[in-house]
Structure 1
Amino acid sequence: MIDCIWPVATTLGEGPVWDAQARRLWFVDIKGGRLHSLTPETGARESFEIGGNPSFALPSDQGGLVIGNRDRLLHWRRDAVTELARIPGMVATDRTNDATVDAAGRLWFGTMDDLESTPTGQVRVYDGGTITEAGAAAIVTNGPAISGDGRTLYHVDSLARTIWRFDIRGGATTLFGGVPFRTFSGDEGLPDGVVVDAQDHLWVGFWAGGCARRFAPDGTLVTEVRLPCANVTKLALGGPDLRTAYVTTARAGLSAAELAAQPLAGGLFSFRVEVPGRVLPPVRVG
């Protein structure tokens, strides 16, 4: 059963992540410049004005969150926001997009061309002190996501409709040996955010596809869950048993007629899954 648990009407809802310590879900509205949180146990909802284009918000090992915003990484706390790093090598129209964390606490994040026309985006790594360019050039990056054993990184080249698989064993920060995990046809929508569950299956949101799909490690489609809006961006697997899927969606790109037909577009949805997710380690910031 699919429930809209918060009709928050984000312009571009993205980056849901389960904060196991706080028992809270965080997500962002990239185009709305906001950070949102939901505490399922109490139903408490909070929204924070961040400004700019916050694209991910992940728990930090120093408390608070690490937020990607345009050309910088921020350390956000309720009472203060500090700049962790400026991201080198970005052009004026670039911004951060999606992100994940590996077992060592390194932040793997994508950048993209906000005009969606030039392949200036790529995957980068923040190790608490420096930012390294890892590669995988694309116009719009999504993911990345990392396998449970830490050896494989999945990178989504959304406009090329392709999910790539890279080998990152041995602590590598450069992506080598990329092979396509799966490529999608035009009528399937664009692959967007991706998360890996406890069986190393990939849950992928589909922009203009109206669904979330789960794929086995060999690329086989296992499950498809339809949602009542076209632009499905990303899932997080959370809750006490990590078996609740929280799904962000977007109103961006929809016409007035489409918005009228999709009144819950931009809402936060949930449904139950059989296989739990994994808790991401906190980002190492110092």
Structure 2
Amino acid sequence: MGHGRIVWDGGALLGEGPVWDGRDDSLWFVDIKGRHVHRVDPESGASRSWLAPAQIGWVVPAVGGGFVAGLQTGLHRFDPDEDDFQHLADVEPDLSGNRLNDATVDPDGMIWFGSMDDGERAVTGRIYRWDGNSVQASAIPAVPITNGPAIAPDGATLYHVDTLGGVIHAAALIAGSDTGGTREFVRIAPEDGYPDGVTTDSAGNVWVGLWGGHCARCYAPDGTLLRQVELPAANITKIALGGKDGRTAFATSARIGLDEAALAAQPHAGAVFAFDVDVPGRHLPLART
């Protein structure tokens, strides 16, 4: 079932956080539960992996080289050349049952990221902002599992996901530093899957992976469904847009929670898939550190 060519077939337990790094035309992503950072060159298929010191939700390219990484133990500077994670900041030191889950970078280089209850029940997931110096909580209400956020190309709207609630919300960004009122952008029926990670393309369309939905969807800025791409794994977690022309979509997926029958039916669960898109993505701004 499904379309999409395979660019990495390493069987991630919980593949997440794909990001295209235009500095060397490579795709980076993480396996949260496997505690790994992965890099793949889609042209050659060559890949490399790094073990993280804790569950890792994301890495984003940073000013000055390397990455900022979101770990259960806080924000870290990740230097792949030195295989080194340097602690930058705590996020929720009083919530040991939480972990970090997903992130993006705004036009000013600030990282917006979310936390979640690792047990997926408590209403303790929040959206935060890192400006290179400190972590600030946003005004967005808590949910058990945050996903996203993603930011519109003009920097005026932040999309964030209540995965268990099945809703993608849109919030106004005020001077890039806080969030205003939130509105419902798209509601997805449980039988279609649960909205996971989101990203935006250069026209402001919103791509989302559907956990349990065997697909990725693209919505216009007004919430109209533009496209659905079936993929050969049930749990599609997030889309990154990249490739040298920005017109390749990369989809991470997960094996976790699948029984033997499901794994037999989805031999490529946990792979990274690729498919072509008409509207190109855009490089994430380099994150402040």
TM-score bracket relative to the smaller structure:
over 0.9
How far has the Cα of 1:89 moved from its partner? 5.8
Q: Provide the rounded CA distance (Å) in 2 between the counterparts of 1:55 and 1:103.
A: 21
Provide the identity percentage. 45
Give the corresponding residue for 1:14: 16
Aligned mates of 2:229, 2:206 — CA distance in 1: 13
d(CA) in 1 for partners of 2:10, 2:44 = 17
- Which residue in the other structure is 2:41 paired with? 39
**Partner residue, 1:187:** 191
Distance 1:13 1:258 in 2: 17
Count of matched residue positions in the alignment of Structure 1 and Structure 2: 284
Residue 212 of structure 1 corresponds to which residue in structure 2? 216
CA distance in 2, matches of 1:76, 1:233: 23
Deviations, residues 180-231 of structure 1 (Å, cap 9, x unaligned): 0011111110000001001100010000011000000111101000011100
CA shift in 2, pair 1:90/1:245, >3 Å: farther
Structure 1 counterpart of 2:185, which letter? F
- Cα deviation for residue 90 of structure 1 reads 4.5
Structure 2 unpaired stretches of 5+: none
Aligned counterparts of 1:160 and 1:90: Cα–Cα separation in 2? 25
Compute the TM-score of the two structures, normalised by the length of structure 2.
Answer: 0.96
User: Please, what is the CA RMSD of the aligned residues?
Assistant: 1.1
> TM-score, normalising length from structure 1?
0.97
* Structure 2 residue corresponding to 1:101, chosen from 95, 102, 105: 105
Equivalent of residue 65 in structure 2, options 63, 66, 86: 63
Equivalent of 1:272 in 253, 256, 276: 276
Aligned counterpart, 2:118: 114
* Superposed displacement of residue 92, structure 1: 1.1
Q: CA deviation digits over 1:48-92, x for unaligned, max 9? A: 111321110100102111110103001011213211111146511
Following the alignment from structure 1 to structure 2, what is the Cα–Cα distance between the partners of residues 218 and 271?
24
The equivalent position to 1:153 in structure 2, one of 158, 180, 188, is 158
Equivalent residues of 1:228, 1:262 under 8 A apart? yes
5+ residue gaps, structure 1, are none
Q: What are the Cα deviations for residues 218-254 of structure 1, in whole angstroms up to 9, with x where unaligned?
A: 1110100001110000010001000011110000111
Provide runs of 4+ in structure 1 moved above 6 Å: none
State the match for 1:229 in structure 2.
233
Deviation track 1:136-174 (CA, whole Å, cap 9, x = no partner) reads 21100000000011000000010000011100131232x
1:205–1:213 CA contact under 8 A, matched in 2: yes
Aligned to 1:73: 75
1:133 maps to what in 2?
A: 137
2:236 is the counterpart of 1:238: no
Q: Is the 8 A contact 1:71 1:90 kept in 2?
A: no
| Preserved CA contact (<8 Å) 1:122 1:133 | yes
Aligned equivalents of 2:208, 2:242: Cα separation in 1: 16
SS at match of 1:266: coil
Q: 1:3-53: per-residue Cα shift (whole Å, max 9, x none)?
A: 112111000000000000121110000000000001123332101111321
- Within the alignment, does 1:170 sit opposite 2:172 as a pair? no
Greater shift after overlay, 86-95 or 67-76? 86-95
8 Å CA contact 1:150, 1:169 repeated in 2: no
Secondary structure at the residue paired with 1:279? Answer: coil
Q: Does 1:197 align with 2:201?
A: yes
Distance 1:163 1:258 in 2: 27
Match of 1:48 in 2: 50
2:7 and 2:45 in contact (8 A); partners too: no
SS of 1:4's equivalent in the other structure is: strand
**Residue type of the partner of 2:171?**
F
Structure-2 separation of matches of 1:81 and 1:12:
21
